[in-house]
């Protein structure tokens, strides 16, 4: 039998966005420090440039990822409206844009630098490119949600309890749904809490039972 667990209260989107911006600023600061190491603006022991660059790149990556995860979570709590296509795209891809800003200038300057040795330039460039790729993929929201999607789901379910699992990709309107039978832990809460947990589509089996279609609200494909 699955263990039932109450969903945590919906988080504060404003606080998450503020936190994301702080971490993104730290990421860009790490990049600037890396550039200063590269240009010799900060004194470092001779022969240690590569290690200092790698340290800056790692910190840059960590800060970008933390900021992007916070931003994506905020987008699921308080999503942008899809009526303004540009604003909606920017909201959901801001983490990817920041990833490029946080790594591309450093990559370009490493490649153009004439003072660093070939080994340092090669390893640092590869590390920065890989970090950019990881940051970009981690920052991209593969399951974006709109203000309208959330509003439709909340209007449909109102105060009804929905169910989902930690690792699943959908939420369920029926506690006895077959997809939940083998789950060790089932979380129950409101649909807004499911959206925050990145479960933004109704299980297709539950949708069929309820007679719900994609015209009513987002359903699992």
pLDDT digit string, tens, across residues 111-156: 999 988 999 999 999 999 999 999 999 999 988 889 998 888 888 8
Res 69: pLDDT: 96
Q: Are residues 31 and 106 in the same domain?
A: yes
Q: Are residues 164 and 117 in the same domain?
A: no
Structural domain span for residue 41? 13-139
CA distance 209 to 213: 11
Integer-rounded Cα Rg, in Å, for the chain is 22
Res 172: pLDDT: 92
Q: Are residues 19 and 85 in the same domain?
A: yes
Q: Are residues 55 and 128 in the same domain?
A: yes
Count structural domains, the chain.
2
Q: Which 8-state DSSP code applies to residue 5? A: E
Q: Tell me the whole-structure pTM to 2 decimals.
A: 0.86
Q: Are residues 18 and 41 in the same domain?
A: yes
Crossing angle of helices 13-39/49-77, nearest 10°? 160
Res 2: pLDDT: 61
108 found inside a domain: yes
User: Each residue's pLDDT tens digit in the chain (221 positions)?
Assistant: 567 778 777 789 999 999 999 999 999 999 999 999 999 999 999 889 999 999 999 999 999 999 999 999 999 999 999 999 999 999 999 999 999 999 999 999 999 999 889 999 999 999 999 999 999 999 999 888 899 988 888 888 888 899 998 888 899 999 888 888 878 889 999 999 999 998 888 999 999 998 988 778 888 87
7 found inside a domain: no
Q: Are residues 156 and 78 in the same domain?
A: no
Can you give the length of the chain in residues?
221
CA distance 121 to 123: 6
Res 157: pLDDT: 86
- Is the CB of residue 102 less than 8 Å from the CB of residue 27? yes
Phi-psi region of 211 (alpha: psi -120 to 50; beta: other; left: phi over 0): left
Q: Of 139, 157, 178, which marks where a domain is finished?
A: 139
Tell me how far apart the terminal alpha carbons of the chain are, to the nearest angstrom. Answer: 28
Phi-psi region of 40 (alpha: psi -120 to 50; beta: other; left: phi over 0): left
103 found inside a domain: yes
219 found inside a domain: no
5 found inside a domain: no
Q: Are residues 63 and 32 in the same domain?
A: yes
Res 179: pLDDT: 85
Q: Of 78, 107, 139, which marks where a domain is finished?
A: 139
Q: Are residues 128 and 37 in the same domain?
A: yes
Q: Are residues 154 and 171 in the same domain?
A: yes
Q: Are residues 99 and 166 in the same domain?
A: no
Q: Of 139, 165, 192, which marks where a domain is finished?
A: 139
Q: Are residues 70 and 159 in the same domain?
A: no
215 found inside a domain: no
Q: Are residues 42 and 113 in the same domain?
A: yes
* Neighbour tally for 142: CB within 10 Å: 8
6 found inside a domain: no
3 found inside a domain: no
């Amino acid at each position: 039998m699955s263990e039932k667990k109450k969903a945590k209260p919906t988080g504060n989107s404003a606080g998450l966005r503020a936190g994301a911006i702080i971490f993104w600023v730290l990421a860009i600061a790490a990049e600037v420090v890396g550039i200063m190491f590269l240009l010799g603006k900060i004194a470092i022991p001779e022969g240690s440039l590569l290690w200092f660059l790698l340290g800056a790149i790692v910190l840059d990556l960590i800060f970008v990822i933390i900021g992007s995860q916070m931003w994506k979570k905020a987008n699921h709590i308080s999503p942008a409206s899809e009526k303004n296509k540009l604003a909606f795209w920017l909201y959901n891809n801001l983490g990817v844009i920041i990833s490029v800003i946080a790594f591309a200038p450093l990559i370009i300057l490493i490649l153009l630098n004439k003072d660093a040795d070939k080994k340092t330039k090669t390893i640092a460039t590869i590390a920065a490119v890989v970090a950019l790729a990881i940051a970009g993929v981690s920052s991209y929201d593969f399951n974006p949600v709109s203000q309208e999607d959330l509003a439709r789901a909340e209007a449909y379910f109102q105060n009804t309890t929905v169910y989902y699992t930690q690792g699943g990709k959908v939420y369920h309107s029926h506690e006895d749904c077959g997809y939940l039978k083998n789950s060790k832990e089932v979380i129950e809460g409101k649909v807004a809490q499911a959206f925050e947990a990145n479960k933004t589509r109704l299980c297709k089996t539950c949708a069929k039972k309820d007679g719900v279609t994609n015209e009513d609200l987002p359903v699992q494909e």
